[in-house]
Amino acid sequence: MSATKRVNLRTPEVMEAVQAAVEQHYHSPMVDKLRASGGIARFGDVTVRLAKQFGFCYGVERAIDLAYAARKVFAGRDLYLVGEIIHNPDVNAQLASMGIKTLSGPCKLTEIDNLSPEDVVIVPAFGAEVAVHDRIKARGCQIVDTTCGDVMSVWKRVRQYANDGVTSIIHGKADHEETRATSSRARDSEGAGHFVVVYDLAETDMVCDHIRGKGDRALFLQKFGRACSEGFDPDLHLVKVGVANQTTMLRSETEEVQRRVREAVAARDGSAANFRVFDTICGATQERQDALKELLDRPPDLMLVVGGYNSSNTTHLADMAAQTIPTYFVVNASCLESPVKIRHYDTHRREEVSTANWMPAGPVSLGITAGASCPGNLIEDVLRRFLQLRGIALGETAVS
């Protein structure tokens, strides 16, 4: 099929309308005011402390802007989104209400095969696997690619590894959209190249054991069979290795993965010549982790972390805070059911749970942060709900 015509979605007229709609749906004057005050305010007997960096990052804002622009520019055509635009159910629900349909699940490729050149397909901020992207392109669809630039930087890195005969060890979640997209690019121009995905340090140690020649090949393939490239042989493909990562992983853990792999290569070879590394942690992810670390230097009494339960960067924020203080990872204000009951996500059990008697009595210091895919209006909703449960009217406000 002939190439689709390139369309400029970001004209001044379109973007003016987009910004007005996005602000109406996601903006929070209250959060902006708190941020401008230094992130500290008193409401009655509650002292609120916001992390200095939280909520929507540039890449997420860009993806949402492009989705809204596509809806306006292609008003008379069917719009489809590959999976979720970002990991926030409220944002994805808003796009669905605008008539943007989702291509997802086990029938995704079949659904793509039913598309026509008149259809418009939005690629999310995480990107899409090469096979999915090529399938859409083959249908002749208009593609609106919102892939984050930081993600594409990782793609370039693993492709370079493959071109140089280096196997990519990717620190991430094997079933995460971004990691699947990255893994699909860990091939050279001829289709050769290999990868293995490690989720945590325990899995990293299994790979390192094999690099040192101490691993069990059968156990390795049993463990990583669904998290490595087709035809992966740990006895052959762990000679030259390079570390990359899902951009939203915890930086300290990624750095430890790098250290352990480098050490294993050096122990085997006598030098680290067969090891490569490149810093591919997203800047916004790091800023939010650093801001939370700073907030926790003077720990509040409890922490609310707001965001989608399937958001990797939000999960890491919740895990960081939980090491220090009582922390509740909530998707929106509805989770704060009462002063004696809160629903929240348990990142270890990977399910929503309920906790009783969660709200402290007496004066309380409340910390709040949010993942990069969480809009300001949801943060405001959570804060308003917390204050409502405390019986505090918003008029009782003094900004520190």
Q: Which tens digits make up the pLDDT trace of 34-50? A: 999 899 999 999 999 99
What does DSSP assign to residue 228? B
The pLDDT of 138-160, averaged and rounded, is: 95
The better pLDDT of the pair 263, 76 is held by 263
Does residue 191 come out as left (phi exceeding 0), alpha (psi in the -120 to 50 range) or beta? left
Does residue 39 come out as left (phi exceeding 0), alpha (psi in the -120 to 50 range) or beta? left
The half-sphere exposure of 20 on its side-chain side, counting CA atoms within 13 A, is 7
- Give residue limits of the domains in the chain: 24-57+283-399, 58-148, 150-277
* The residue to which tokens 């992810």 are assigned: 285
Confidence at 106, pLDDT banded by 50, 70, 90 = low
Annotate 84-124 with DSSP letters as a single string.
Answer: -SSS-HHHHHHHHHTTEEEE-STTHHHHHHT--TT-EEEE-
Maximal CA-CA distance, the chain? 68
Q: Which tens digits make up the pLDDT trace of 170-190? A: 999 999 999 999 999 998 777
Q: What are phi and psi of 345, to 5 degrees?
A: -95, 130
Is the pLDDT at 107 greater than 70? The verdict is no
Distance CA 77, CA 140 (A): 14
Distance CA 375, CA 28 (A): 8
Q: Identify the pLDDT of residue 398.
A: 46
- Residue count (the chain): 400
Confidence at 400, pLDDT banded by 50, 70, 90 = very low
Q: Identify the pLDDT of residue 397.
A: 47
Q: How far is CA 89 from the centre of its chain?
A: 13
CATH of domain 150-277: 3.40.1010.20
Q: Which tens digits make up the pLDDT trace of 157-173? A: 999 999 999 999 999 99
The pLDDT of 354-372, averaged and rounded, is: 97
Rounded to two decimals, the pTM is 0.90
Rg, the chain, Cα only: 23
- Enumerate the active-site residues: 178
Q: How is residue 338 written in tokens?
A: 């009462």
In percent, the amount of the chain with pLDDT more than 90 equals: 88
CATH of domain 58-148: 3.40.50.11270
Is the pLDDT at 229 greater than 60? The verdict is yes
Confidence at 395, pLDDT banded by 50, 70, 90 = low
Sequence-distant (≥ 6) Cβ neighbours of residue 392 within 8 angstroms: 43, 44, 45, 46
Find out if CATH 3.90.25.10 is the number for domain 24-57+283-399. Answer: no
Strands 341-346 and 351-356 come out as: antiparallel
Confidence at 90, pLDDT banded by 50, 70, 90 = very high
Q: Which tens digits make up the pLDDT trace of 296-342? A: 999 999 999 999 999 999 999 999 999 999 999 999 999 999 999 99
Distance CA 372, CA 151 (A): 14
Asked if the domains 24-57+283-399 and 150-277 are classified in one and the same CATH topology, the answer is yes
Q: Identify the pLDDT of residue 6.
A: 79
The better pLDDT of the pair 323, 279 is held by 323
Describe the strand order of the beta sheet including 351-356 as a list of residue ranges: 336-338, 341-346, 351-356
